[in-house]
Amino acid sequence: MTGCSGWVTPNPYQPVACRVVAAVPETSDTVTLTIAPPPATAWRFQPGQFNMVSLYGVGEAPISIASDPADPEGLVQHTVRAVGRLTRPLTTLRPGDTVWLRGPYGRPWPLDAWRSRDLLLVTGGLGLAPVRPVVLAAGRARHLFGRIELLYGARTPGDLLYRDALQEWARVFDMTVRVTVDAVPPDQVWAGPVGVVTRLYEAMTSRPGAVALACGPELMMRFALQGLLDRGFPASDLYVSLERRMECGFGHCGRCALGPVKVCRDGPVFCWDELAGRVWVEDQPVLQAVGGGPRGPAAARRT
Amino acid sequence: MPPRLLATDEVEALFQALRRRGPVFGPAAGLDSGARPPPAGRLTPLRYAPLERACDAVLAPAAFGYPAKRLWFRPSVTLAAARRAVPASGPGPWEPGPPPAGAAPPLNPDPARPFAVWGVRGCDLAALERLDAVLMTGPVTDPEYAARRRAGTVVAFTCTQAGPACFCTATGGSPVPAGGCDLVVTPLAGGPGGNGAREYLVEPRSARGEALVEEVGGRPAGRAAVAAAAAVIGSVRAALPRSLNGRLRPENAAQKAARRLDSPAWDELAGRCLGCAACSLTCPTCPCFDVVERVSATADAGWRERRWTSCLVPDFGRLASHNARARRENRLKHWLLHKLAPAEKVTGGLTCVGCGRCSTWCPAGLGLRAALESLEGEGGLP
């Protein structure tokens, strides 16, 4: 960039100004933004990757990409819940507004390695967003995969994301979609199952041999993984996508470090085999409790 | 090029040769201009400052001063900026580009401008290798850091004295600077810190270093000079600890500490730690940073600034939903495990280079070795 003396180009921190072309509310606090990167920047990404999304004067945060990697118009979608200083103004953006992106970053879901396998997608809450590109990409190349089963849990019927698409995916992509909610408030109507997402394991048809991925709040992923391990799924067939604070997105800032692993660069997608037994220190070692806890002799060996 | 022997005036000529190429930074006593002097008897760290003569460098043990890392990995860097019009009707959209004149956000001094660093110790040099592993080895290279690494000439000095807090040898390091520099200077016999030496053994470690030595001359170092250097190094080595603590060696430190994560000693350590991050700010290997959002007073310029931070700061692990490490003992564990593991699995040995700064500058008398000592005191590290 000429005129900005002191900057080295190419600058990995330089975000690109992008136009919001649609902002569709999903729930009372969640919006899906459809973003058009400038034509010169072909925003090529793979399912499971994330962008650093920012507003000048407000801040920047990693947000997973929720759209089809093969979108013919090269549009990028982010499903954003209003929880913090940045995400609140992001959910109020209107078509025509500017949002700043840099990326994509992170290791994607290894779809190529999953070819010819059955897929089990276990999702909770906003965790459906990073899995949506998997559904769309696998659905488009449907013949490459075996059976596909999506389990999705939300807090209430009003918290369901992509509500209309869920039924359409089942039909168009020939996949099984099972949805549950934790609770039904008096003012909402729900005819489906009630209970946490792992309750759907009782009804699911997926069996060990399928590749399973879990994405959602960490507590949900913990029970999802444990349930699958208990049912005989090997750790090498289980995948998760993790969320941590990130300042850079490519392994420099250290904020997302889990021991020697950096979520932004080595993840956010991990095979459970890579994380099981690893030692990292957090107040609530939620995921580390999967498979009997992190502090055994096996843990020390893997440091 | 075989090592050369330089007399004191030739070392000064070497220094001046560097100064002709750009500023030469070296460890110096004294304060920033305008800062008030410390109360009598209070120690202030040496800091890398532009020097005019080689003899102005205070070649004390590394722990007596700030790390050299700030010359490459600067404490604060502007990463990106945007501007917008702010008419009375309200601010317009942000546009990429340099901020308008008058908004005056800090721009970075040209990172490609040549400079030299004089008097770098082996530990700081090893730390630079660890920073390289983070900032230059992954999928993305930090352009600012990389430009400074290319622009900086490094003249490293062999330690002729073991400091009270030094333990480089226990981390797999050495008082002799390893690779990653342009020249290694070993003062032969003389006063403490090498300042009183009359002769210096100079070993070029790069083409740039060779060119500098060619320029100042000197004479080929004879067998006696090499033996004298070895004697200096041997005596320093003998004064340095061989293990981190008891049986803790670089190869097994991380595993052993990981097995003590449930020790009650952590609560005691957390009770003493003030969470001030002095250890990180003086650590030559700490690479973590924040990206801070800034807006000018007139709201017409916005920019993002990278700033050093520390995993011991309460906010470090904060997410939108919760704080991953609100508990201080967990922040200490996170810090210690990182210092005991190799940086990015790229470098050998530990991330810690054994400079001893964390224990020297901790206001609570803690530090890496003190933390290990507490863990060991409670039943002994397995």
For every residue of A94-137, DSSP letters joined together read -TT-EEEEEEEESBPP-GGGGTTS-EEEEEEGGGGGGGHHHHHH
Binding-face residues of B in 148-177 toward A, CB within 8 A? none
| Cross-chain Cβ contact B337/A253 below 8 Å | no
A53 CA to chain B: closest CA distance, Å? Answer: 13
Q: How many CB atoms lie within 10 A of CB B150?
A: 10
| Cross-chain Cβ contact A255/B317 below 8 Å | yes
DSSP secondary structure code for residue A19 in this structure: E
pLDDT number for residue B190? 54
| Cross-chain Cβ contact B337/A281 below 8 Å | yes
A118 CA to chain B: closest CA distance, Å? Answer: 32
pLDDT number for residue A155? 95
β-partners of residue A202 are: none
pLDDT number for residue B148? 93
> With a cut of 50, which residues of chain A have pLDDT below it?
1-8, 293-303
Structure tokens at A260: 């020697």
- A108 contacts in B (CB within 8 Å)? none
- Predicted ipTM of the assembly: 0.87
Q: How far apart are CA B319 and CA A62, in angstroms?
A: 11
Task: Choose the mutation target among B84, B140, B255, B280 for the interface with A, i.e. most A CBs under 10 Å.
Answer: B140
Of B138, B144, B324, the CB nearest to A283: B324
Candidates A68, A83, A213; CA nearest to A151 is A213
pLDDT number for residue B343? 74
Candidates B358, B199, B229, B224; CA nearest to B286 is B358
B191 CA to chain A: closest CA distance, Å? Answer: 41
| Cross-chain Cβ contact A8/B111 below 8 Å | yes
| Cross-chain Cβ contact B341/A259 below 8 Å | yes
Stated as kind and residue range, the H or E segment containing B235 is: helix B223-239
Residue A228, CB-side half-sphere exposure with 13 Å CA sphere? 32
Candidates A10, A92, A96, A63; CA nearest to A246 is A63
Structure tokens at B279: 């250890």
Helix, strand, coil % in chain B, rounded to nearest 5: 35, 20, 45
pLDDT number for residue A118? 96
Place of tokens 């209107």: A94
Q: Are B27 and B119 in contact (CB under 8 A)?
A: yes
Residues of chain A with CATH 2.40.30.10: 16-105
Residues of chain A with CATH 3.40.50.80: 111-302
Say how many Å lie between the first and final Cα of chain A, rounded: 43
pLDDT band at B198 (very low <50, low <70, confident <90, very high): confident
Structure tokens at B8: 């004191």
Find the mean pLDDT for residues B311-325: 88
| Cross-chain Cβ contact B325/A283 below 8 Å | yes
Candidates A67, A23, A25, A26; CA nearest to A46 is A67
Stated as kind and residue range, the H or E segment containing B357 is: helix B357-361
Task: Choose the mutation target among A13, A18, A19 for the interface with B, i.e. most B CBs under 10 Å.
Answer: A13
Of A247, A257, A284, the CB nearest to B291: A247
Place of tokens 């979609």: A177
Domain covering A111-302: architecture = 3-Layer(aba) Sandwich (3.40)
Chain-centre distance of CA B32, in angstroms? 19
User: For all residues of chain B together, what is the average pLDDT?
Assistant: 85
pLDDT number for residue A295? 39
A265 CA to chain B: closest CA distance, Å? Answer: 8
Place of tokens 């100064």: B19
| Cross-chain Cβ contact B140/A98 below 8 Å | no
pLDDT, tens digit, 9 for 90 and up, residues B352-364: 999 999 999 998 9
pLDDT, tens digit, 9 for 90 and up, residues B56-101: 888 888 888 899 999 999 998 888 888 888 888 888 888 887 766 6
Stated as kind and residue range, the H or E segment containing A230 is: helix A218-230
Stated as kind and residue range, the H or E segment containing A31 is: strand A30-36
pLDDT number for residue B300? 86
pLDDT number for residue B196? 60
Domain A16-105 belongs to what topology?
A: Elongation Factor Tu (Ef-tu); domain 3 (2.40.30)
Task: Say yes or no to pLDDT of B150 above 70.
Answer: yes
pLDDT band at B321 (very low <50, low <70, confident <90, very high): confident
Of B80, B134, B325, the CB nearest to A13: B80
DSSP secondary structure code for residue B318 in this structure: B
Q: How far apart are CA B65 and CA B47, in angstroms?
A: 6
pLDDT band at B107 (very low <50, low <70, confident <90, very high): low
pLDDT number for residue A208? 95
Of A11, A253, A281, the CB nearest to B289: A253
| Cross-chain Cβ contact A248/B81 below 8 Å | no
How many contacts, defined by CB atoms under 8 Å, are there between A and B?
161
| Cross-chain Cβ contact B140/A280 below 8 Å | no
**Amino acid residing at A200:** L
> How far is residue B69 from each of residues A199, B34, B204, B259, B281, measured CA to CA in Å?
53, 23, 22, 32, 10
| Cross-chain Cβ contact B108/A7 below 8 Å | yes
Chain-centre distance of CA A74, in angstroms? 20
| Cross-chain Cβ contact A260/B108 below 8 Å | no
Task: Say yes or no to pLDDT of B194 above 60.
Answer: no
Q: β-strands A176-181, A148-154: how paired?
A: parallel
Q: Are B148 and B67 in contact (CB under 8 A)?
A: no
Top pLDDT among A138 and B301 is at: A138
Task: Say yes or no to pLDDT of B381 above 60.
Answer: no
- A15 contacts in B (CB within 8 Å)? 80, 96
- B79 contacts in A (CB within 8 Å)? 11, 13-14
**Amino acid residing at A14:** Q
pLDDT number for residue A189? 92
Residues 6 or more apart whose CB falls under 8 angstroms from that of B364 comprise: B272, B273, B274
